[in-house]
Amino acid sequence: MLMIFQRPAFIALPLVFLACSDGGLPPEYRQLEVPESRLSSAEARRSGRELFLAHCALCHGEKADGVGRRRNLSSRPADFTDPFWRQRVGPRDLYQVIREGVKGTAMPGFKALSEAEIWDLVAYISSVAEEWSPRDRSD
Ligand code: HEC
């Protein structure tokens, strides 16, 4: 008896995921050019950290772990130190949330920040999960 194994699904699935990764964004954000080299620079992360402490830590926590001084928010902000959270979001998603906020929640939009400042914030937020990876934790 002749057995033929065909596995098109194994090849097709990863392609579908790639194609959908920015699918939920409004068109103007889907097209955004991501400044990759700036995002991975130490300078952008440092400047993003300063902006974060000034504008975001009150709700998102000084350690960016979602535990800020402001409590009883509409919903609990994500823990940016969580590698699983980090895997779910791309730089364009973060840019869009910071600029537009999340409607119907306590997360405000930061339209007064410049494009460069928002990308620096994205650089910092995206780097937190690397710096606080589980193996570095003492607990
Ligand atoms: C007044 C409180 C508050 C401030 C200030 C604030 N946030 Fe948020 N943020 C929230 C809340 C609450 C959420 C969760 C919204 C939801 O339920 O989707 C959120 C969500 C987010 C998200 C989406 C991931 C998540 O937590 O679900 C990002 C990214 C984010 N904030 C970044 C920032 C940055 C960067 C700043 C500063 C420029 C900032 N936030 C300032 C309250 C705040």
Q: Residues 69-88: pLDDT tens digits? A: 998 898 999 999 999 999 99
Ligand 1 neighbourhood includes 91 CB (under 6 angstroms): no
The residues, ordered by sequence, that sit 6+ positions from 130 with a Cβ below 8 Å of its Cβ are: 86
* 93 domain residue, yes or no: yes
Report the residue among 25, 52, 59, 82 best suited for mutation to probe ligand 1: largest number of ligand atoms under 8 A from its CB.
Answer: 59
* Of 17 and 129, more confident: 129
Other Cβ atoms less than 10 A from the Cβ of 96: the count is 22
* 14 domain residue, yes or no: no
Q: Domain count of the chain?
A: 1
8 Å CB contact between 70 and 107: no
> So what's the pLDDT on residue 102?
95
Q: What is the pTM of this model?
A: 0.83
Average of per-residue pLDDT values in the chain: 85
* 22 domain residue, yes or no: no
* 24 domain residue, yes or no: no
* 10 domain residue, yes or no: no
Ligand 1 neighbourhood includes 102 CB (under 6 angstroms): yes
Ligand 1 neighbourhood includes 105 CB (under 6 angstroms): yes
Whether pLDDT at 19 is above 50: no
d(CA 108, CA 87): 23
3-state helix, strand, coil in the chain (%, to 5): 55, 0, 45
Domain that holds residue 97: 35-133
Q: Residues 33-71: pLDDT tens digits? A: 999 999 999 999 999 999 999 999 999 999 999 999 998
